[in-house]
Structure 1
């Protein structure tokens, strides 16, 4: 079905209430007769409620200005929000949704922490200790690629084998604000002379099939995000549906 909304300029003006400080005793975005932004976007939530039962998982794939709208927080009835009624997942594209819903090949029972020592002249401080500590804490029974063994070739080969439950990466990294998919992490060089071909880029990582429960990364600039919140190549938040 189609829901008609005001022009984007009007929607932006409506959403300003979400970022403005409220007065005493007034919620964010409050206006006479209710919360203004909720009234505008409630028509988008109405069909979701109508065609789902309480507790059913709901997947949202927003576009344009809707990337900035917390649709899950829209009050529906008796001040109950959508996310209080249903578990809500938000993905940046239908492609991501399809991939996340695809049957998994079967998770392994092991954990495989991976660490790159980078070049010998610039070893990542405490990386080996980090991996050993993580393996002990997680009760990991998978192998550990440490130091010279943690080359890009070895890392990709191990990931291709599958059968993993957790992957932990500890290595040097660099964020590229101009081209986020060119951001990279630096496994150990093979041969021992680090260069661009030894780097594992975000683009390459996005192309991998990682059927694992958890992937963690300890690297330089890993939390840098000087990019648009609307770019599907830069983010993807999701909540797995209930079993």
Structure 2
């Protein structure tokens, strides 16, 4: 008889044997109904998880083992005769084990594709933990705040993770208060970190030796320790330096290192009349959480929303809005707001602005057009969007830049739609006139002009045609005089703009990759450095777009250049003004404001 291995010998093989035995025991229970088999399955799945050195063995096998244990608790908890709260905590711990093992795999993977798959693989675990946190919050007075905080954090940490990492490691402009020596030291470490990723990415994934991954782990951890020391010194140089460091640190946030302070800091910075609403799609429901300045913890809700109803609303939205096939429109999709946001109304009674942090299919909907008690959300509240709270903090932390205004308008001269071409160029001319400047002549509205003048501009307004490429989202872009300027081109820019406006069709659409990461113009422009951007979700009517844009700018800046309102308030005012004469949301709801509203 083989000797049972000790702690040092517990390997992936033995874990796999335990999983196989657990699966066998579950099948026997299904055949016989004898509870001893369920207890045996629980022993089989839980035993390897108690062996600490398994972390050094096969992390993928550990993920499977922990997931099996979580599923067993969910499906057969009553057969194990565990008290309800004890069972809930056991399920919670099992799925956290899934996240922990998956995180180690994520950190060791240099490949975007594999990281996307790993993020997607934990979707069920994230959903389960959110559900359990809400359940435990409702049943524990002393720990309710902690459970609600955890639900909010885990929902947000799963959003746009790779975008957050790119924003954290991208070239940025440190505040002038930070000594140049510290900035140079940071830049050198970050450059080495990029080099490690590049070297690993040059190898075929199926040919990477384990020793190379171990070397990657070691050097990466050493660089992180160096960066932590540098960042700790930077923080001594004032509020701007601390804000800069907080954005840089986001790259190091792991599932097991969630920090509530960051979320509270963002809420406090926005003020007491601003609410943050995080939205996460669960298998048959939607998780909603509301956070405001001064709150110890968010308020959380799980709203039952069958998959069939959501798909039905998305289909109607696609037919009536995105493709304009159905007339007159029913606007049935707007009714989602009654289920999602009406229950939150008491929490928003004294709120002026709402930030939406969407998830999954909600990225593609104009949430501000959904109805609450029969009226569009934006009729009562100003609205802005961000891919996640961490991404929002990044945009809020960017220093304000006093630069020029760049206005470019272009439509192909051979375009048979002469009226549309005239409207596009007229919009550019009128926007430029309002800011006491001249638009770039259409024949000169090219990539070189955008690169040359865009990096020093505080406002970039582009009136042109746009296109989203579903086959290659990074090829999505705007049409300039010398061809398409796509997301890859934007990624190469180093912007300081306070606002980039793309007055073009479909510029706000992004592809949602596994793990809820966005790929498209939104991601590219945020990465390039803009604090905020104004985009459209569908092909828009040119005359109403022109009217909306001019009204938007008049609401933000006076004719002498003074800022008289924030961008979100101007967005709301322009939308409501257009809605007076155009009740169909096709005309007034395509615009989205992303990033820093101030």
**TM range, normalised to the smaller chain?**
0.5 to 0.7
Partner of 1:117: 411
Match of 1:96 in 2: 167
Match of 1:176 among 449, 456, 469: 469
User: CA shift at 1:234, angstroms?
Assistant: 0.8
Q: Aligned to 1:168, what secondary structure does the other structure show?
A: strand
Q: After superposing the two structures, state which structure 1 stretch, 166-175 or 93-102, moved more.
A: 93-102
Q: 1:230 to 1:66 in 2, by over 3 A?
A: closer
**8 Å CA contact 1:112, 1:141 repeated in 2:** no
Whether the 8 Å contact between 1:177 and 1:227 is mirrored in structure 2 is no
1:66 corresponding residue in structure 2: 119
3-state SS in 2 of match to 1:108: coil
- State the distance in 1 between where 2:407 and 2:93 align: 45
Taking structure 2 as the reference length, the TM-score comes to 0.26
CA distance in 2, matches of 1:234, 1:96: 14
Unmatched runs of 5 consecutive residues or more in structure 1: 18-31, 46-61, 190-197
Displacement of 1:170 in angstroms is 2.0
- Relative to its length, the structure with more helix (as a share) is 2
Structure 1 residue 143 displacement after superposition: 4.6
Picking from 160, 165, 186, the partner of 2:479 is 186
TM-score (norm. length: structure 1):
0.55
How far has the Cα of 1:178 moved from its partner?
Answer: 1.9
**1:213 correspondence with 2:498:** yes
Give the direction of change, closer, same or farther, for the CA distance of 1:101–1:210 in structure 2 (3 Å limit): closer
Quick check: 2:456–2:495 contact (8 Å CA) kept in 1? no
Q: 1:40 aligns with which of 92, 95, 108?
A: 95
**Structure 1: how far apart are the matches of 2:89 and 2:429?**
55
| C-alpha separation in 1, matches of 2:152 and 2:516 | 27
For residues 201-236 of structure 1, give each alpha carbon's deviation from its aligned partner in whole angstroms, at most 9, with x where no partner exists: 221111111122222212233244455344867164
Distance 2:481 2:414 in 1: 9
Instruction: Please name the residue that 1:202 is paired with.
Output: 487
Q: Residue 66 of structure 2 contacts residue 95 of structure 2 at CA under 8 Å; is this kept in 1?
A: no
Do the aligned partners of residues 207 and 112 (structure 1) sit closer, same or farther apart at CA in structure 2, a change above 3 Å counting?
A: same
Aligned in 2, Cα 1:130/1:43: closer, same or farther, shift over 3 Å?
A: farther
Question: Is the CA contact 2:400–2:498 (under 8 Å) kept in the aligned structure 1?
Answer: no
Deviation at 1:98, TM superposition (A): 1.4
Structure 1 residues 110 and 66, CA gap change in structure 2 (3 angstroms): same
Superposition CA RMSD, Å: 4.9
Q: 1:100 & 1:141 partners in 2: Cα distance?
A: 32
Distance 2:515 2:403 in 1: 36
Q: How many residues align?
A: 194
Structure number with higher relative contact order (C-alpha < 8 Å, ≥ 6 residues apart):
1
Greater Rg, structure 1 or structure 2? Answer: 2
Note if contact 2:477-2:507 (Cα within 8 Å) is conserved in structure 1. Answer: no
